[in-house]
Amino acid sequence: MKEELVCSEVIINNSLGLHARPAAILAKEASKYKSDIKIIMDKTEVDAKSILDILTLAAPKGKSIKLIAKGEDAKEAIKNIKSLIEEGFGEL
Amino acid sequence: MAKKILQGIPVSVGVAIGHAYILTRDHFCLAPIQNISEELVEQEIKRLEDAFELTISNLKELKAKIPEEQTEYSSIIDTQIMMLQDPKLKHAITKYIKDMKLNAEWAVEKGIGDIEKTFNGIEDEFFKTRISEFKLLSRKVIGNLIGAGEELKPIKSRVILVAHELTPADTVELDVSKIMAFVTAQGGKTSHVSIVARTLGIPAIVGIEDVENQILDDEFIIVDGFTGRILIEPEEEEIYEYTERQISFEQYKRELFQQSGLPGKTKDGFHVKVMANIELFEEVSSALDYAAEGIGLYRTEYSYLYRSRLPGEDELYEEYRDLVSIMSPKPVVIRTLDAGGDKIGKGFEKLEEANPAMGLRAIRFCLKFKKIFKTQLKAILRAAEAGNALLMFPMISGLEELRDAKRVLEEAKNELEKEGKSYKRDIPVGIMIELPSAVLVAEDLAKEVDFFSIGTNDLIQYSLGIDRTNKYVSHLFQPLHPAIIKSIKHTVDVAKRAGIYVSMCGEMAGDPFCIPLLIGMGVDILSTTPHSVPGVKRVIRMLSKKECEDLLNKILQNSSVKENNRIVKEKVFDKIPEELTFYTSFFDN
């Protein structure tokens, strides 16, 4: 398997932003992949597998964040995490 | 004599005899703080990991107990489990064990302290407050480190619950069917614990300082919900005396219940309708059992509490529709959301108000967050098709506010029209009269509504400037204050002149000392807790409108609260002596 670097931008869609529940869902999803996954917002970079890290971003609705994954399953990871965020974590 | 007698404020009548159960939920355990030697580091980290594992399995057990339909609650637990599994959290703590040689308990506090600093740097208030969840978890972990679990101990047999304070969240978690009576240090006649006790029909006493330490766990006690006395380790004769009292009260209640179908008509034929105030959908069955002539007040706040998201239109519609159709053709007055951000949560708690009672709550909150308001209005409009529903706005202070609310109602109707959903166009609209300003402009308000409902709890609180849950001033919460009597009288007179009906849904409506005055004024509807409906009807049947008017006139000429209390106590006692043995009232016993 070759290592890939995949990058994508997405806008937070659910009404309260990345609060505890969405952060938990996101971290859980990210933890499924072998790849190293980061979230970048306003020059702050955090680990997508850590709910604590995600919460400290305090990402509100409408904010654009960047997802970066590095590893063999990077493509799949970004695709699935992106759609989770776009679907508003089932809160819409 | 009993070993010890405590005196509190009786808030729900009845007698309970049994063992105390002390609810010690929030008692803080002091974590031992100490340094460890290098060779113990591994062992200490292992201890921490075990405590984390144990906390996670505690949470999983708790989650398994939650009924499936409460998915919101179980998702909160899932989130907590995720937090505990987060390597970053564990790392923040273990580094203190490794680098600073702190014991696990201390390291947890230091680690959480660091995380708190990071969160304090966040500008968004909503995210900032998330730190409380980490603190809560850290308490659970420390509890497991010390070996003192945080769980409520299970209630095995029927007990008398003793607590510092009882919150709505506690009552959700407790098995209320096993509770014979409530005793708390905090609270007043209209606080949550009192309302729950009266709804369940069990005695309750509040306002005994430090009660959770004055009574021992499992101690044998008698709770006298008539006088507010608690007898600790009573003598045999006392047990006998109270058992007698308990039996005669039960008999009185049975008798009342048998007569509950009789209407509340005075001796000279004036009919006062007696309805029920409810806050949970499930209470509709007791409203029917006690033969309430309708739901005079449906508090809609519960659907908004303890949820991770706001309820949707369809969800609310189904709830309201079921209630309206079960009660049909009897009326159901649905009051729109009467809470502020502090109660609703979901991000609104960030509003941080110093004084929520005078803040962004009720109609003001709804007018600011119009989408939430409109969703509820649409649900009510649609549900009104199922029977006889009326709509009521809380906390209206003047004409503009009423018009603004009605404008949103029109918008809601238009939206339903566009969506092709069927709804009741001409739903009657009323308002709560609970602010002194509304009393003063009642004439203007009466022209634009179909009914008034007087909320005496808030009217007294706002008129007299008394926080009724504050024990230092709660004795100044005086329903017979001349200003209160005049305010109510004025409101009723205005309604009569305008040809609209007027009801009363505050505590006064169920108080035997106040009922004669309300009849004297000509209030059309008294709405009270379901279980007091039969008693209120019976009090009405024992009075005549004429004598009530005479009493009212006497009171209106007075300018002293003390004098009013004395006259009412005397006169009412003359009329209905045996009724009063089994009632608590605003009056001191």
**Cα–Cα distance measured from residue B517 to residue B559, given in angstroms and rounded to the nearest whole number:** 16
Match domain B4-25+157-253 to its CATH number in 3.40.30.10, 1.10.287.130, 3.40.50.300, 3.50.30.10: 3.50.30.10
Q: Which pLDDT score, from 0 to 100, does residue B37 have?
A: 86
pLDDT band at B7 (very low <50, low <70, confident <90, very high): very high
Lowest mean pLDDT among A84-88, B166-170, B277-281, B285-289: B166-170
Q: Which pLDDT score, from 0 to 100, does residue B588 have?
A: 47
Whether residues A28 and B347 touch (CB distance < 8 A) is answered with no
pLDDT exceeds 90 at position B396: yes
Amino acid at B46: K
Query: Given CB atoms, is A80 within the 8 Å cutoff of chain B?
Result: no
User: What are the tens digits of pLDDT across the range B404-437?
Assistant: 999 999 999 999 999 999 999 999 999 999 999 9
pLDDT band at B150 (very low <50, low <70, confident <90, very high): very low
Q: Is B156 exposed, middle or buried (0-12, 13-18, 19+ CB in 10 A)?
A: exposed
| Interface mutation target, options B86, B119, B124, B349, chain A, most CBs of A under 10 Å | B86
CATH architecture of A4-90: 2-Layer Sandwich (3.30)
In chain A, residues with a C-beta closer than 8 Å to the C-beta of B88 are 47, 50, 52-53
pLDDT exceeds 90 at position B158: no
User: What are the tens digits of pLDDT across the range B11-21?
Assistant: 888 999 999 99
Q: Average pLDDT in the B490-498 region?
A: 97
User: Residues B336, B337, B339, B341: is their CA dihedral positive or negative?
Assistant: negative
Alpha carbon distances (Å) from A42 to A66, A88, B122: 9, 21, 13
Q: Which pLDDT score, from 0 to 100, does residue B67 have?
A: 66
**Cα–Cα distance measured from residue A79 to residue B10, given in angstroms and rounded to the nearest whole number:** 62
pLDDT band at B342 (very low <50, low <70, confident <90, very high): low
Of B76, B89, B128, the CB nearest to A52: B89
Instruction: Let me know: does B507 contact B456? Beta carbons within 8 Å.
Output: yes
- List chain A domain ranges: 4-90
**Cα–Cα distance measured from residue B331 to residue B384, given in angstroms and rounded to the nearest whole number:** 10
Question: Helix, strand or coil for residue B234?
Answer: coil
**Residue B351 or residue B486, greater confidence:** B486
**Cα–Cα distance measured from residue B455 to residue B508, given in angstroms and rounded to the nearest whole number:** 9
Lowest mean pLDDT among B257-261, B345-349, B522-526: B345-349
pLDDT exceeds 70 at position B30: no
Q: Average pLDDT in the B443-461 region?
A: 95
Side-chain-facing half-sphere of B383: CA atoms under 13 Å: 29
Low pLDDT (below 50) residues in chain A: none
**Cα–Cα distance measured from residue B412 to residue B317, given in angstroms and rounded to the nearest whole number:** 13
Q: Is B569 exposed, middle or buried (0-12, 13-18, 19+ CB in 10 A)?
A: middle
Q: Average pLDDT in the B179-188 region?
A: 89
Q: Average pLDDT in the B145-169 region?
A: 72
User: What are the tens digits of pLDDT across the range B542-559?
Assistant: 999 999 999 999 999 999
Name the CATH superfamily housing domain B259-580.
Phosphoenolpyruvate-binding domains (3.20.20.60)
Q: What percent of chain B has pLDDT over 90?
A: 48
**Cα–Cα distance measured from residue B248 to residue B254, given in angstroms and rounded to the nearest whole number:** 10
Phi/psi at B495 (nearest 5 deg)? Answer: -60, -45
Instruction: Let me know: does B61 contact B140? Beta carbons within 8 Å.
Output: no
Q: Average pLDDT in the B474-500 region?
A: 93
Name the catalytic one among B505, B514, B531, B548. Answer: B505
- ipTM of the prediction: 0.72
Angle between helices B482-498 and B456-464 (to 10 degrees): 130
Q: Which pLDDT score, from 0 to 100, does residue B78 have?
A: 82
User: What are the tens digits of pLDDT across the range B53-62?
Assistant: 998 988 888 7
Whether residues A19 and B76 touch (CB distance < 8 A) is answered with no
**Cα–Cα distance measured from residue B521 to residue B425, given in angstroms and rounded to the nearest whole number:** 33
pLDDT exceeds 90 at position B82: no
Whether residues A55 and B130 touch (CB distance < 8 A) is answered with yes
In chain B, residues with a C-beta closer than 8 Å to the C-beta of A52 are 83, 86, 88-89, 92, 115, 134
pLDDT band at B167 (very low <50, low <70, confident <90, very high): low
Q: Which pLDDT score, from 0 to 100, does residue B71 have?
A: 65
Name the CATH superfamily housing domain B38-146.
PtsI, HPr-binding domain (1.10.274.10)
The CA distance from B395 to the nearest CA of chain A, in Å, is 28
Q: Which pLDDT score, from 0 to 100, does residue B351 have?
A: 67
Q: Which pLDDT score, from 0 to 100, does residue B470 have?
A: 74
User: What are the tens digits of pLDDT across the range B502-535?
Assistant: 999 988 898 888 999 999 999 999 999 888 899 8
Q: Which pLDDT score, from 0 to 100, does residue B62 have?
A: 77
Q: Which pLDDT score, from 0 to 100, does residue B126 have?
A: 66
In chain A, residues with a C-beta closer than 8 Å to the C-beta of B309 are 91
- List chain B domain ranges: 4-25+157-253, 38-146, 259-580
| Interface mutation target, options B127, B129, B309, B369, chain A, most CBs of A under 10 Å | B127
Q: Which pLDDT score, from 0 to 100, does residue B27 have?
A: 44
pLDDT exceeds 80 at position B367: yes
In sequence order, which residues have a C-beta less than 8 Å from that of residue B459 and are 6 or more positions away?
A: B433, B434, B435, B436, B439, B484, B487, B488, B506
In chain B, residues with a C-beta closer than 8 Å to the C-beta of A51 are 79, 82-83, 86
Q: Average pLDDT in the B226-252 region?
A: 90
Q: Which pLDDT score, from 0 to 100, does residue B257 have?
A: 81
